[in-house]
Amino acid sequence: MELNHTHDASRRSWLDSANAAGCDFPLQNLPLSVFRRKGSTEAWRGGVAIGDQIVDLGALQSLPGLQDSAAEAVRAAAAPTLNGLLELGPESWRALRHGLYGLLQSGSSLARQVREALVPQLDAEHAVPVRIGDYTDFYTSLDHAVNCCRQFGIEVNPNFDWLPIAYHGRVSSIDVSGQQVYRPAGQYRTDPSSAPVYGPCQRLDYELEVGAVIGIGNARGTPIPLANAQQHIFGLCLLNDWSARDIQTWEMQPLGPFLAKNFATTLSPWIVTLEALLPYRTGWTRAPERPQPLDYLRSADNAAAGAFDIQLEVSILSARRQAQGRPPHKLTRTSFQHQYWTLGQMIAHHTVGGCNLQPGDLLGSGTVSGPNPWEAGALIELTVSGTHPADIGDGEQRGFLKDGDTVVFRGWCEREDYARIGFGVNYATVLPAPGPP
């Protein structure tokens, strides 16, 4: 887990689009996805983003010049999911990254052969890149918690200071960017003194999150210590934890979210590996006046490099604006480094009771918000439960999402002396609720 030649910002690829300013996928990134050509019946297989292209790992299997460990990793990643690659472990992940880096950098003797394995990103469609066994969604932004609780005249629950709060989510409704999200229906109360009603959600919201894909798991009954927790992460992606706020308010007590969360979760197609993110780790601190974590949630490594400075942005594209050919309107810009708990602490707490994580498991960070008003990671926070609608351009406003709205997440990392790397785009469009059962 140390910086190496693959992080050298001076290195360039023989593919010109990978060297363009502002490119999400330069040589120093090399994220993975599962894809096929649009409209085809081709098998799904692993791919690696470089510039505006995808390296088809299925087509790369027969290429000479890869070391044995890298060749084995290519074969595993060419499958319909990346789980086989995850199970090979960190040494194989590193061999794949370093092998591809050598093939794609300027001066590679195999550039011509690799070029034949490229597929334009515009010609590709994506699937969820891993077979997800379990999904856990956390609640770890103090700014988000304070802003939401303040609206209801309550204090943040005392346990927020002591443990990363989470609930187990629904895997079957997780899909990849580009999906269409049906407005959910359920029970909610329009008047606290009256009986609930059934109908389509009236307060549909997004939640800006980072997803962590577990690479290697742990034996049941064997907790993962905080000092080792990052080694269990294969990579990160952008995650939208769609939320029905009116349904959620009614059903939350006493066991937490149910219908308000189980209808859709959207992932970006690209998993940015933890090795690519090493230059963007940063220190984690907590204000001295707040309670400090218990010993199992404290370590020198976590304090030195437990957080990640990932810039995150939310935009909304209304149906009207889309019809006019206008771009999405930006609403939020924040950083993942604001989270009150780190991914390592989430993993350590998740396993401290003996729970066994497995390759492909997904962790959601919880809504990412910052201390400023423009850093709110959800509409419930940004618009104060719809009472102060947000401007989405051309005279339109939103308290909560309307049918036809497309929500767009972007993420990237920047640091002086290192290449900018991006996460691509996570987007989905709201459709009307289906008819009653």
What residues form the annotated binding site? Answer: 137, 139, 207, 209, 241, 248, 261, 265, 367
Of residues 144, 232, 338, 349, which has the active-site annotation?
Answer: 144
Task: Count Cβ neighbours within 10 Å for each residue of 362-389 and write b for 16 or more, e otherwise.
Answer: bbbbbbbbbeeeebbbbbbbbbbbbeee
Give φ, ψ of 176 to 5 degrees: -95, 160
Q: Is the dihedral of CA 117, 121, 126, 130 positive or negative?
A: positive
Identify whether 168 is a catalytic site residue. no
Q: How far apart are CA 348 and CA 223, in angstroms?
A: 7
Q: 3 Cβ partners below 8 Å, 6+ apart?
A: 278, 279
In this structure, what DSSP letter does residue 293 have? P
**Binding site members for Mg(2+):** 241, 261, 265
Q: Is the Cβ–Cβ distance between 78 and 35 less than 8 Å?
A: no
Q: How far apart are CA 112 and CA 116, in angstroms?
A: 7
**Binding site members for Ca(2+):** 137, 207, 209, 241
Q: What ranges make up the beta strands (E) of 140-223?
A: 165-168, 174-176, 180-182, 185-188, 197-200, 204-205, 208-214
Q: 202 Cβ partners below 8 Å, 6+ apart?
A: 188, 246, 400
**Binding site members for substrate:** 139, 248, 367
Q: 345 Cβ partners below 8 Å, 6+ apart?
A: 164, 226, 229, 293, 297, 302, 306
Nearest to 279 by CA among 419, 411, 410: 419
Supply the residues annotated as catalytic: 144
